[in-house]
Amino acid sequence: MELNLTGKIAVVTGGSKGIGLATVRTLRAEGAHVVVASRKSSAELDALAGPGLVHVPADLTDSDAPAAVVAHAVEVFGGLDVLVNNAGGPPPGVSLPRFSFLPLTDADWRDMFEFNLFSAVRAIRAAIPVMVERGGGSIVNVSSAVARQPGAMNADYAAAKAALTNLTKALSEEFAPQGVRVNTVSPGPVRTPWWTDEGGAADVLAAAFGTERDAVLERVAPEAMALKTGRLLEPQEVADMIALLASPRSASTTGADVLVDGGFHKAV
């Protein structure tokens, strides 16, 4: 399918690895110019280097950083058509999952919301005026299936993502008449560095369940989360949906929350 993204200007936060990297790769393959915001680059991102790709080193929990990234896109490429708020997950220095609400401090809650909600709020605040001036655009916020199906683990993360999903629908109501579509993609568990890095979710769950990390990735986690596909998702599967929502081919889709979760979410 031709997504009609050639020449479009996109910002992708958290774009050096995982879902963000897959999204950057997909948007570039579709002909978009992409500004990538992340704390540091990666070998995989560097391999995509070219005139249509710019990396901006940024700590998105810095209150000034998201607007600076948007401003850089305008300066380098002349505008902004697509914003993908992908940055999220464990704040720097934090390993998830966490198994109880009670140990979480006010600082833990603030850090989680800064990274998973307020960084997106600030990027959107900067992006919408630029998009409206250009006649419209698409914002895709990467939420999570746990925003709809909370559990005992990671209460702060689920709450932050639920807020992002709610915000998305509110923004879609206000700005659709001005040509700005706002949607969420809500992944289930995805085989990203969050899971696979040393000390990541696979190691945390392996210690909790008394098993090996490979068993967690291949069998234990999919079974525990009742994934009907029987496996963790691949980043590209989420990136494909993000690209479709970013595309003019989704011109009548706004305020949607699209689950890409392997059957994790069970409710209607």
Main-chain dihedrals φ then ψ at residue 31, nearest 5 degrees = 95, 10
Strand partners, 186: 259
Alpha helices for 176-225 (secondary structure H): 193-196, 201-209, 213-215, 221-224
Query: What single-letter DSSP state applies at residue 234?
Result: P
Angle formed at CA 16 by CA 10 and CA 22, multiple of 5 degrees: 65
Distance set, CA 248 to CA 38, 115, 204, 252, 266 (Å)? 26, 29, 41, 9, 30
**In sequence order, what are the residues at sequence separation of 6 or more whose Cβ sits closer than 8 angstroms to the Cβ of residue 182?**
124, 138, 139, 141, 168, 169, 171, 172, 175, 176, 254, 255
What is the spatial distance between Cα 72 and Cα 259, in angstroms, rounded to a whole number? 31
Strand partners, 233: 190
**Choice among 113, 157, 194, 195 that is catalytic:** 157
Q: Is 157 a catalytic residue?
A: yes
Strand partners, 35: 11, 54
Q: Are 127 and 83 within 8 A, CB to CB?
A: yes
Tell me how crowded residue 245 is: count the other CB atoms within 10 A of its CB: 24
Mind telling me the catalytic residues?
157
